[in-house]
Structure 1
Amino acid sequence: MQQDKSQAVVKPKKTVGLLRSSAIVGVMTMLSRMLGLARDVVVASYFGASGSADAFFVAFKIPNFMRRLFAEGAFSQAFVPVLSEYRSQRDLQSVQQLVNYVAGTLGSVLIAITVLAVVGAPMLTALFAPGFYLGDEGKFELAAQMLRITFPYLLLISLTAFAGAVLNSYERFAIPAFTPVLLNVSLICSAIFLSPLFDPPVLALAWGVMIAGCVQLVFQLPFMAQMRLLPKPRWGWDDPGVRRIMTLMVPALFGVSVTQINLLLDTVLASFLQTGSVSWLYYSDRLAELPLGVFGIAIATVILPSLSRRHAEDSNESFSATLNWALQMVMLIGIPAAVALFVLAEPMLITLFHYGALGDRDVLMASMSLRAYACGLLAFMMIKVLATGYFSRQDTKTPVKIGIQAAVVNMIFNLLLIGPFDHVGLAAATAISAFMNAGLLLYGLIKSGVFAWSTGWGMSIVRMLAANVVMGAVLIWLMKDPSVWLQLGLWPRVIDMAILVTVGVVVYVLVLVIFGLRLRHLRHS
């Protein structure tokens, strides 16, 4: 009887609809992303696209890449299905034991990795930014120095992702979605208040990353304690649950984050290009990641526990219906986001980043790579959803095979396009490989029989095509020439951009409604 009572502590009172859950995650992520843009505005204003900015972006990208690959990628995709199974089929004591063993094992492995990385920071920097090592000793030494400060962020944020995975598994989506806000606040405060205290000032950003990792981890622990699942870390390498998670993680380390690997390869090759190339790719990637993070990752986060339960219950029809819903939501949001980024590339970059140290040429160069990333945005978002369809079934091998093929294609196009198009070619290659990745993932789900197109897709596509064509035409008609935007002050830029975005959203929704879209088409429980 006591066991049942304990179970009730962590189980939700009722199943929350996926649309509502996605909205909760989306709103929290939107807050985080908007603060992330504010952070980038501050960084661009203080450091521009200088050599010190390039060095920081490399020092931050290495642990951040490994976070996405390891913590939010392979670990979460392997841990959540196993935890969902324990939650469905076992008692709270078994769930607590799994949480304890995973916390202890994950923490121990990450401590060892962090120590090695801090000691070998120059080698890691040379590996991820060989152009710095071969061509600019000052940037290389500064990047290696900052990497020693930023790399422990991997340990802290991985444990934060572990806590977030537990909360997500019990439908506590808001807290993990809000947590990234703390990183942005920390970096903004560090740039403004700490940079005058350091020489060079950019070191303040590195310390801001470290502070953020500590704050993010501590923030989530009280909510785990409230659920009575606060971990008591224990080494559990031989525990069957940990073994299953590790088995799923090994292939997923590559398969789930092919997009991130491709972006990192862009950074490696960009380090050989002219100064500013790494920063141009960073600023354009940040804008492309706004819709990806707010909607694509939010939808994938919400459907993973649901799909895992559907698979555990052997409910193929519900499994397929959930994936259909997720793909429709991704297309409904991803296509207009890509159109808007492509059409409004210069105005968006000017409004957000053209202040202080970031010059006119930097905006022009970043806008070209932003358009290339925009062409692949829908594929980036589809990968997040489609890969979840595999991981929820505890199949990590298939995405690995597909990921390897996509990575090879990406590298081939990188080498083909970097010569004639410089940094823009790198972004274009990433977009091309993303579409190949998404297409093969979709084909595999259909071929395996777990996914089938639901009725109504034909009309949905007609609606979306009509709405996007009309919206794109209206935005082109209303948009001022980039040279005019460059002459505007802050508030005229903000007001004009707000008008463009508002008009675009209104036109898009209005055309969808005219073509028959209703709220009931968006709901899925």
Structure 2
Amino acid sequence: MSERAQMTKAAGVVGGATAISRVLGYVRDAVMAYFFGTSVALDAFLVAFRIPNLLRRLFAEGSLTIAFVPVFSEYLEKKGHEEAMRMAGAAFRLLALILAGLTVLGVIFAPQVVMVLAPGFAKNPDQFTLTVLLTRITFPYIFFIGLVALCMGILNSLRHFAAPALAPVFLNVAMIACVYLFFSTFEPPVISLALGVIIGGALQLALQFPFMHKKGFRGWIKGPLNHPGIKRVAVLMGPAVLGAGVYQVYIIVGTILASMLPEGSVSYLYYADRLTQLPLGIFGISLATAALPSFSRQAANKDMEGLKDSFGYAIRIIMFVNLPATVGLIVLAQPIVGLLFERGAFGAEATIHTAQALIYFVLGLCAISGARIVVSMLYALQDTVTPVRVAILSLIAYLAFSMALMKPLLHGGLALAATLSSALSLALLTYHLRRKIGPLGGRKILKSVMGSLVASLGMGAAVYVFAHFAGILAPGQVGSAQLTLWTMLCIGAGIVVYIGLASVFCKKEFQAMWRLVGKRVKRRG
């Protein structure tokens, strides 16, 4: 199997699992809203769960995986499977010890941690006490998810993507199940939700072990905890953690600025971002995840031509799927927002404002996805400093764009600022990558992107005409059943039109995707 084929296949696996997880995430949120509403207890849980979640984002899933994969891949290619597994076993044991210690400290100092992150809760002793209790219950989640992140790096490097990608599904299922099963068992009932987090984390880790064993991982194989490979991972991980921290600052700054705008602005941006994250997770992040092991293997072998070829292919595929998603979400922004959220207190005005934010957000979908691919390339080349520098510059640009746009465009200005800063990030990252390894095949990429853009615009025009005829482009014109039917029909029609146009204007990318789908259909048949 060529690197292109393996990358495409892996992206399909990760994207499919991500789609399942995101759908279950919406179900989980609906269950939480049904059982707990907007209660003090739910506020306490959200703060408690935010603490291990923040540590997960900073140290585990993102930074650990992207720092581990290039080093582990190099050991696989140059020193063999046995030595790579010796390094992996040492890393697993060392990480388990560190995470166990961190968990114990988190449980002991939970009151102090809650006081820092939610000082306002101190005014209500009952709420503060509950938050501390829930923090102590949920904190061990960081132990499980940190080890899952390491397993993800090992398995992805060995070309297995399904188990790590499906892991979040188990968290959502566990949380949903625990609420239904134990809601009446505990007092207060929100403890059932916290219990679901711990069970979900344990299930996520347990899922990895059979596949790790099948791939030859033996945690008991002797290997020094100060293994030189682990030291290199730690060096790469430092800037990665800093980069993840910059992203968290992005979120905090956006929330602060939105709070200065008219009431509802924070909510409009939240719901619009949730919708943007769906195609980003299914297409952008999944392909970046699948590409990192391929890039790392080629970089370890000093195969620069093969690396450039894989990079160009990844960018062309990401644009092939994200451009129609962008155009489709812009045309159907209001029907989609109305279909998913317009009920109860979420009225037609909220639909209009959320749709405006969605349009501005999805304009940056291709830039964000493209930047993820470039970052994967830089990490494969073991350059973790450049992404951090670019992230800091992008944050400064986001602040400048926000201050300039939030007054005339309100919350839409903040969404557009995020898009513009993402475009700047992609440009800067690509510039540095080109300086590092030379020409990237820009003409071939541009030709492919233009073909995908033409096909996407044609699809957008067809969907607009269809949606206008159906009367669903403005909120409140049709009932919920009709809105659901016509929106689904519009999406289906758009897919058919895009397939037809793509087979003409971007044949190579269309054929690559078609071959992948054809192989899967034959295999299942």
TM-score interval, smaller chain:
0.7 to 0.9
Change (3 A) 1:28 1:141: same
Change (3 A) 1:452 1:129: farther
User: Aligned letter for 2:375?
Assistant: A
List per-residue Cα deviations over 1:110-157 (Å, max 9, x = no partner): 233334444455655565567x56999998776665444433322211
Is residue 288–residue 370 contact of structure 1 (8 Å, CA) maintained in 2? yes
User: Aligned letter for 2:369?
Assistant: M
The 3-state SS of whatever aligns with 1:314 is coil
Change (3 A) 1:14 1:269: closer
Is residue 26–residue 298 contact of structure 1 (8 Å, CA) maintained in 2? yes
Match for residue 326 of structure 2?
A: 338
Change (3 A) 1:125 1:71: same
Is residue 78–residue 249 contact of structure 1 (8 Å, CA) maintained in 2? yes
Is residue 74–residue 249 contact of structure 1 (8 Å, CA) maintained in 2? yes
Matched, 1:504 2:494: yes
TM-score (norm. length: structure 2): 0.84
Is residue 326–residue 365 contact of structure 2 (8 Å, CA) maintained in 1? yes
Match runs of 1:92-241 below 5 Å: 92-121=81-110, 124=113, 146-195=134-183, 202-232=190-220, 237-241=225-229
Relative to structure 2, which stretch is displaced further, 276-285 or 244-253?
Answer: 276-285
Change (3 A) 1:410 1:458: closer
List per-residue Cα deviations over 1:451-503 (Å, max 9, x = no partner): 512553343233222222222233333331443378415xx444333212111
Equivalent in 269, 291, 295 of residue 307 of structure 1 = 295
Match for residue 237 of structure 2?
A: 249
Match for residue 519 of structure 2?
A: none
Relative to structure 2, which stretch is displaced further, 356-365 or 377-386?
Answer: 356-365
Change (3 A) 1:78 1:45: same
Match runs of 1:477-488 below 5 Å: 477-479=465-467, 480-484=472-476, 487-488=479-480
Change (3 A) 1:170 1:235: closer
Match runs of 1:29-428 below 5 Å: 29-46=18-35, 56-121=45-110, 124=113, 146-195=134-183, 202-232=190-220, 237-255=225-243, 258-259=246-247, 261-267=249-255, 280-354=268-342, 363-414=351-402, 424-428=412-416
The 3-state SS of whatever aligns with 1:179 is helix
CA RMSD of aligned residues (A): 3.7
Relative to structure 2, which stretch is displaced further, 345-354 or 319-328?
Answer: 345-354
TM-score (norm. length: structure 1): 0.84
**How many aligned positions are there?**
511
Is residue 280–residue 369 contact of structure 2 (8 Å, CA) maintained in 1? yes
CA deviation after TM superposition for structure 1 residue 359, in Å: 5.8
Matched, 1:446 2:434: yes
CA deviation after TM superposition for structure 1 residue 510, in Å: 1.8
Match for residue 460 of structure 1?
A: 448
Cα distance in 2 for residues equivalent to 1:269 and 1:168: 38
Is residue 320–residue 452 contact of structure 1 (8 Å, CA) maintained in 2? yes
Cα distance in 2 for residues equivalent to 1:337 and 1:437: 21
CA deviation after TM superposition for structure 1 residue 19, in Å: 1.8
List per-residue Cα deviations over 1:296-331 (Å, max 9, x = no partner): 121111111111111111111111111101111111
Match for residue 462 of structure 2?
A: 474
Is residue 256–residue 399 contact of structure 1 (8 Å, CA) maintained in 2? no
The 3-state SS of whatever aligns with 2:486 is helix
Cα distance in 1 for residues equivalent to 2:466 and 2:129: 47
User: Aligned letter for 1:460?
Assistant: S
Cα distance in 2 for residues equivalent to 1:293 and 1:178: 13
Relative to structure 2, which stretch is displaced further, 266-275 or 286-295?
Answer: 266-275
The 3-state SS of whatever aligns with 1:232 is coil
Is residue 390–residue 425 contact of structure 2 (8 Å, CA) maintained in 1? yes
Match for residue 432 of structure 1?
A: 420
Is residue 49–residue 280 contact of structure 1 (8 Å, CA) maintained in 2? no
Percent identical among aligned pairs is: 35
CA deviation after TM superposition for structure 1 residue 35, in Å: 2.3
Cα distance in 1 for residues equivalent to 2:45 and 2:263: 13
Change (3 A) 1:505 1:93: same
User: Aligned letter for 2:324?
Assistant: P
Change (3 A) 1:232 1:261: farther
User: Aligned letter for 2:485?
Assistant: I
CA deviation after TM superposition for structure 1 residue 396, in Å: 0.7
CA deviation after TM superposition for structure 1 residue 226, in Å: 1.9
Is residue 334–residue 475 contact of structure 2 (8 Å, CA) maintained in 1? no
Match for residue 14 of structure 2?
A: 25
Change (3 A) 1:126 1:505: farther
The 3-state SS of whatever aligns with 2:476 is helix
The 3-state SS of whatever aligns with 2:507 is coil
Change (3 A) 1:125 1:395: same
Is residue 369–residue 427 contact of structure 1 (8 Å, CA) maintained in 2? yes
Change (3 A) 1:488 1:137: farther
